[in-house]
Amino acid sequence: MSAGDLIAGVQWFFLAYFVGLNLAYITLNVVSLRAIGKDADARASFLLPRFFSGLEPPISLLVPAYNEQAIIASSIRSLLQLEYPGFEVVVVNDGSRDETLEVLKREFQLVPFPEAYRVSIPTRPVRGIYRSLAHRNLRVVDKENGGKADALNAGVNAARYPLVCAVDADSVLQRDSLERVVRPFLEDPDVIACGGTIRIANGCRVSEGFMEEVGMPRSWLARIQIVEYLRAFLFGRMGWSPMNAMLIVSGAFGLFRRTVVVEVGGYRTDTVGEDMELVTRLHLRYRSAGKAYRIPFVPDPICWTEAPESLRVLRSQRMRWQRGLLESLTLNRALLFHPRGGAPGWLAFPVLVLFEAMGPLIEVAGYGFMIATWILGWVSWQGFAAFLLAAVALGLVLSASALLLEEMSFRLYRKPGHLGALLVAMVLENFGYRQLTAWWRMRAIFRWVFGGSGQWGVMTRSAAWQAAAQAKKPVPENGGAVAAEGVLPPPTG
């Protein structure tokens, strides 16, 4: 074989990979189009008057908190105002080194509570449990630091109700978020977990912890992430849901049956992607046991989170997500082509491995190869331009179809200017942003493979969020002090 044949072979490989990747996502997109159509029907049910009978399953909201003194009080206050007949809030202070516990004690009149604490899932030692004199449905578990997953496990242990909902302290909810996300549990007894759409809060107006008005951030970085999130949720998850193959329920807001979480041993503490890992493990356990189960997706926007607006925080976030993805997949590799794996094992898992876990490597290698061969004169400028055009245009199709899905369903970005901004962001994304995130993700793969200790980025939050919430002003674009930590990940596209 000559060098020319080899180069041609490599070119065909990259082309086939890009086309395969995009075909897979376009297929998901088509499934989503159908599912969104059906869901539009179901959403019409919200034309029915809303009423609670008191027979709805009560929910324990679990809020892990580590150094959240700036936002914890307003977050908990908003959670306590959710519209749902029966719920409790269990805040888990995961050994914060700041004033998180003191703020909670002061703001909610906490008193020590002699709870006969059950250890259904082992965790780091619990130092004390408090209950609020002001809100009977609020308890705080104070424990030694063990990470988010450990804190969630402590929350599961302390939960009193059959459904547990993991909520990030910085999540912004809608008053009816619980009502919406619990719907699949009411309609199907086989539902064991359920996730909803996470949207980006930057530029929106938030009042007392609730979303008041959807807006458009000024930062183009955040705008591009809006397009990314639309892709990730409206067809990334919506597409897998009808096949019961959704491998991710976002850690920012996900509802689980408590008994199921306990049964599988809770969240794993040795991964940064504990939310995805748990869901993938649930698929594996239920599939291999041949038990009936369903993990559906509610496309309604039920939770809003702040997106990074600085490249430094964005890099850190994306590298964490990539590592979380790799860990979740390797820890549950038994699901891949498992004889009873069904759609999760035979479709979703391989797609994630091929296009999300390995995707950045091939994407970066593809760009590098084409640039190198062009510089060396092995490829004509026409060939190079055609390759670039295909790479960009295939990305554009996916982003445009995500916008179409949004237009067909929720139309949250109502102003014509918002739509225009998203159309521009959809194009801009392909010139630099996409390549940069692929590069970061590739670095995360290398760091994970070669076991470097690595710096996965310390996520810090400012008090700006709370201040904005209190002042009823648009969420400030804070230059990246705030990161959406728990939302793993928006792969797809």
Partner 1 sequence: MASVADSDRMVFAVAVVGLGSLALTVAIALQVLFMRYRTGWRERRRATVLAEWRPLLFGWIVGEDPPLPALAAADEEAFLLLWNHIQDGVLGEARARLRQVGRRVGAHRMARSRLERKHAVGRLLALRTLGYLGLEADYPDVARWLDDRRTYLCVAAARALVQIAPGRASGDLLPRLARRVDWPVALFATILAEADPDATAHHFREVVRGLPREPLVRLLPLVTVLDGRTINDIVGDLLATSSDAEVLSAALKRAESPHLLRHIRTACGHADWVVRTQASAALGRVGEIADRELLLRLLCDPSWWVRYRAAQALLSGRFGGPAEVAAATQALGDRFAHDILDQVRAETAR
Residues that bind partner 1 (CB under 8 A): 2-5, 7-8, 11-12, 15, 19, 22, 40-42, 44-45, 47-49, 51-56, 113-116, 118, 131, 186-189, 373, 377-380, 382-383, 386-387, 389-394, 396-397, 400-401, 403-404, 407-408, 411, 416, 419, 423
Nearer to partner 1, 114 or 290 (CB): 114
Nearer to partner 1, 66 or 387 (CB): 387
Residue 159 burial (C-beta neighbours within 10 Å; 0-12, 13-18, 19+): buried
For tokens 């390797």, the residue is 330
Long-range contacts of 15-21 (CB under 8 A, 24+ apart): 15/387, 15/390, 17/362, 17/366, 18/366, 18/390, 18/391, 18/394, 19/394, 20/354, 20/355, 21/354, 21/355, 21/359, 21/394
Q: Which of 236, 151, 255 is nearest to 194 (CA)?
A: 255
Q: C-beta of 355: minimal distance to partner 1 in Å?
A: 17
Query: How far apart are the C-alpha atoms of 234 and 291, rounded to whole Å?
Result: 28
Q: What DSSP state is assigned to residue 380?
A: -
Which residues lie closer than 8 Å to 418 by C-beta, 6 or more apart?
215, 216
**Is 264 in contact with 282 (CB distance < 8 Å)?**
yes
Q: C-beta of 419: minimal distance to partner 1 in Å?
A: 6
Nearer to partner 1, 210 or 378 (CB): 378
Query: E-strand spans in 28-122?
Result: 59-65, 87-94, 110-112
Nearer to partner 1, 59 or 278 (CB): 59
Long-range contacts of 286-289 (CB under 8 A, 24+ apart): 286/192, 287/335, 287/338, 287/340, 287/341, 287/342, 287/344, 287/345, 288/334, 288/338, 288/340
Q: C-beta of 2: minimal distance to partner 1 in Å?
A: 7
Query: How far apart are the C-alpha atoms of 303 and 79, rounded to whole Å?
Result: 12
Q: C-beta of 157: minimal distance to partner 1 in Å?
A: 10
For tokens 């690595």, the residue is 454
Q: Which amino acid is at 449?
A: V
Task: Reduce the DSSP state of residue 211 to 3 states and report it.
Answer: strand
Nearer to partner 1, 6 or 311 (CB): 6
Nearer to partner 1, 321 or 387 (CB): 387
Q: C-beta of 309: minimal distance to partner 1 in Å?
A: 26
Residue 430 tokens read as 């392909």
Nearer to partner 1, 56 or 99 (CB): 56
Q: C-beta of 438: minimal distance to partner 1 in Å?
A: 18
Q: C-beta of 115: minimal distance to partner 1 in Å?
A: 5
Buried b (16+ CB within 10 A) or exposed e, 463-480: ebbbebbeeeebbbbbeb
Q: C-beta of 215: minimal distance to partner 1 in Å?
A: 17
Q: C-beta of 200: minimal distance to partner 1 in Å?
A: 19
Nearer to partner 1, 186 or 334 (CB): 186
For tokens 């804190």, the residue is 151
Nearer to partner 1, 7 or 428 (CB): 7
Residue 198 tokens read as 């996470």
Q: C-beta of 482: minimal distance to partner 1 in Å?
A: 30
Nearer to partner 1, 49 or 451 (CB): 49
For tokens 């709870």, the residue is 115
